[in-house]
């Protein structure tokens, strides 16, 4: 079936995630994409997709008439058409409200502050099942939303973990999901390795997605934090997790086998509050490059051909506003990997950062030769 995805705040990266998981992914502009899959997609596993919708393949009025009777209808509209605005979306919602009222139905309309309802508004109004409806209008068709990101759940998973350390950077759970999903579709129970596990965010998300996990970190305190956080997750899930955790240097550690996929945020260098000067930047690039090269060389000797390896490496904000990258890609071929390409985007699009963030993350998707 064909589905519509409303992409997240980093839409190019969101698009890459969809390409790694689904068939026939097509961009419909900066905010939307369509894709095909036989099984209904689980939005809880998609870090980069805010909403999923299904095309309404009949007149919208006929579709609305078929909604179960006996309950009040809550209706919202997001207008992604070329001339879409808060006014046009609200006008559309009121049009369908009048239509439903003429057919004897009670309707509440969700007010628009912009052309598209925010994912928070859609989620908190439950506009994705039964008689709570969000219609999405594009230039080509109408869709009904069937899933919305649970933003509250992401916040809880991020902030309620017992062991957190802002000094080493805070990997967002959504980004962790994206890194994992860029490895592609792999069976439940496959072992995911994170050789730079930090406080365990990637491992946490991997467990929630059905993977077994193995993590290492050079810093003993980080491994202790990961143990605490995975124990907390185990208690929340009421499940017995059996992670493999160890203190170890990613440049020479021997990981337990079998490993089925590798996803991690590598060493990003020192935290910074201002763009580094040229001398400091050169020093940071040399240090980060040496660690990441050493890690990839060590890993290549331990994994089989075709294994996906997704890494986030640093890029630094410069005074003119652009980001200077690590250029590790120049050495990937000699290290024993191929770089995955994407249909709808370039490698230069895979830069994850907030506005004016000093140290950004460049995502690189690799396959062992």
Other residues' Cβ atoms within 10 Å of the Cβ of residue 24 = 11
* Angle at CA of residue 148, ends 144 and 153, nearest 5°: 165
Phi, psi of 153 (to 5 degrees): -65, -40
d(CA 80, CA 2): 18
d(CA 230, CA 222): 12
Average pLDDT, integer, range 12-39: 96
Whole-number pLDDT of residue 236: 92
Average pLDDT, integer, range 48-67: 97
Task: Concatenate the DSSP letters of all residues of 240-273 into one string.
Answer: ----EEEE--TTT----S---EEEEE----S--S
What's the half-sphere exposure (Cβ side, CA atoms, 13 Å) at 308? 22
Q: How confident is the model at residue 70 (pLDDT cuts 50, 70, 90)?
A: confident
In tens, the pLDDT along 248-297 reads 999 999 999 999 999 999 999 998 999 999 999 999 999 999 999 999 99
Total residues belonging to the chain: 369
| Mean pLDDT over the full length of the chain | 96
In tens, the pLDDT along 132-184 reads 999 999 998 999 999 999 999 999 999 999 998 766 668 999 999 999 999 99
What pTM does this model have? 0.96
* Angle at CA of residue 78, ends 63 and 120, nearest 5°: 110
d(CA 81, CA 115): 9
Cis peptide bond upstream of 277, omega within 30: no
| Tokens 């309950």 belong to residue | 71
d(CA 341, CA 53): 27
- Closest C-alpha to 189, from 202, 201, 206: 206
d(CA 220, CA 242): 19
d(CA 363, CA 310): 7
In tens, the pLDDT along 294-322 reads 999 999 999 999 999 999 999 999 999 99
d(CA 123, CA 148): 6
Whole-number pLDDT of residue 169: 64
Strand partners, 78: 136
- Closest C-alpha to 313, from 250, 245, 234: 250
Whole-number pLDDT of residue 43: 97
Whole-number pLDDT of residue 165: 77
Whole-number pLDDT of residue 167: 67
d(CA 169, CA 175): 13
Tokens representing 131 are: 């008689």
Strand, coil or helix: what is 316? strand
Phi, psi of 265 (to 5 degrees): -100, 115
β-strand pairing of 359-368 with 308-317 = antiparallel
Average pLDDT, integer, range 60-83: 95
């Amino acid at each position: 079936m064909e589905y519509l995805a409303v992409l997240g705040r980093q839409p190019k990266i969101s698009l890459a995630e969809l390409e790694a998981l689904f068939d026939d992914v097509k961009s419909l502009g900066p905010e939307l994409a369509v894709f095909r899959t036989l099984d209904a997609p689980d939005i809880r596993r998609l870090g980069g997709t805010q909403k999923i919708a299904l095309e309404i393949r009949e007149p919208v009025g006929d579709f609305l008439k078929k909604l179960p009777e006996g309950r009040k209808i809550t209706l919202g509209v997001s207008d992604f058409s070329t001339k879409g605005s808060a006014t046009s979306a609200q006008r559309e919602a009121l049009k369908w409200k009048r239509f439903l009222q003429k057919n004897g139905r009670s309707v509440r309309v969700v007010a628009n502050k912009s052309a598209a309802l925010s994912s928070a508004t859609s989620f908190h109004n439950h506009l994705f099942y039964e008689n709570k409806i969000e219609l999405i209008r594009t230039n080509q068709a109408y869709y009904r939303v069937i899933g919305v990101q649970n933003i509250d759940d992401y916040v809880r998973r991020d902030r309620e973990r017992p062991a957190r350390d802002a000094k080493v950077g805070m990997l967002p759970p959504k980004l962790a999901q994206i890194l994992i999903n860029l490895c592609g579709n792999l069976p439940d129970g496959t072992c995911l390795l994170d050789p730079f596990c930090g406080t365990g965010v990637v491992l946490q998300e991997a467990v929630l997605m059905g993977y077994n996990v193995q993590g290492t970190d050079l810093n003993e305190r980080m491994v202790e934090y990961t143990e605490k956080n995975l124990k907390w997750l185990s208690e929340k899930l009421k499940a017995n997790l059996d992670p493999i955790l160890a203190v170890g240097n990613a440049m020479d550690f021997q990981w337990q086998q079998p490993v089925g996929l590798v996803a991690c945020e590598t060493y990003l260098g020192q935290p910074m509050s201002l763009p580094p000067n040229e001398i400091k930047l050169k020093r940071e690039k040399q240090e980060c490059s040496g660690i990441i090269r050493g890690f990839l060389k060590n890993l290549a000797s331990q994994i089989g051909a075709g294994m996906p390896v997704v890494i986030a490496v640093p890029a630094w904000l410069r005074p003119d506003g652009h980001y200077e990258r690590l250029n590790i890609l120049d050495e990937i071929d000699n290290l024993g990997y191929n770089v995955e390409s994407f249909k709808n985007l370039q490698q230069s699009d895979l830069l994850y950062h907030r506005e004016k963030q000093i140290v950004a993350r460049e995502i690189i998707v690799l396959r062992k030769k």
